[in-house]
Amino acid sequence: MTANRAQQGSRKARRQEARQAAKQVHYRRTPAWRISLTRYKWLVGGALVVVAVVALLVLSQRQKASQLAIGSPAPSGTFTTVNGQTASTASLRGKPTLLWFVTTWCPSCQSGTQVMAQNIRKLHADGVRVEELELYNNLGGQGPDVPSFQRSYAGRAAYNPSWGWGIASQQLSSTYDPKGYLDIYYLLDANGNISYINGSPGATMPSLLRAASQV
């Protein structure tokens, strides 16, 4: 009897040790470095998704900025040239035109004008005219007038015959820029239809030049 009880006690003790070992394996804590690595992967993956979504939304909003679709006729509107004459966008038909709306105080407009000055000859070679227009009331910001803006950021290239300057009327501004972007442009074909929409030519010049070569 004593031997049987001893054996039973030994077996019971072994079972308890086995259960305790199993618990330790089951509840073993994940190392802190592995938790940090997992969290880092999730954060990086989430950030990439957010960046991709934002990029698509920005491009979509640029293209739908004024509810004007690529391939549709560009609406007519008036602007005042730097010479004080009233002109209409309808008069631009007959030649591909980059209709570019800017504010003279925004950095992308300033740097974009400098980049445009470096590429105006390329656009001219493709038969594309640039019409750079200050948005109505400069969108409420303080900046230089158009002639001063020309001299400061375009230099001698501002007088290229393929580069026109002016100020958009309120109606023209609201039609092409209802969301109040500081810098947006429309590439029109010779028939006055919209073929490409974007903004900030300082950053988008390569794609603009490709579009201009095909218009």
The predicted pLDDT at position 37 comes to 53
pLDDT tens-place values along the chain, 215 residues long:
444 554 555 666 666 665 665 555 444 555 555 555 556 555 545 544 433 433 444 444 444 444 688 999 999 999 999 999 999 999 999 999 999 999 999 999 999 999 999 999 999 999 999 999 999 999 999 999 999 999 999 999 999 999 999 999 999 999 999 999 999 999 999 999 999 999 999 999 999 999 999 98
The predicted pLDDT at position 161 comes to 93
Q: Kindly report the CATH class assigned to 67-214.
A: alpha beta
Q: How far apart are CA 132 and CA 144, in angstroms?
A: 14
Q: Among 171, 169, 164, which residue's Cα sits nearest to residue 150?
A: 164
Compute CA distances 106 → 1, 60, 87, 168, 183, whole Å: 98, 22, 25, 16, 8
The predicted pLDDT at position 44 comes to 46
- Compute φ and ψ for 144, nearest 5 degrees: -65, 155
The predicted pLDDT at position 53 comes to 38
The predicted pLDDT at position 83 comes to 92
Q: Considering the entire predicted model, what is its pTM?
A: 0.69
Please provide the distance, in angstroms rounded to a whole number, between the alpha carbons at the two ends of the chain: 104
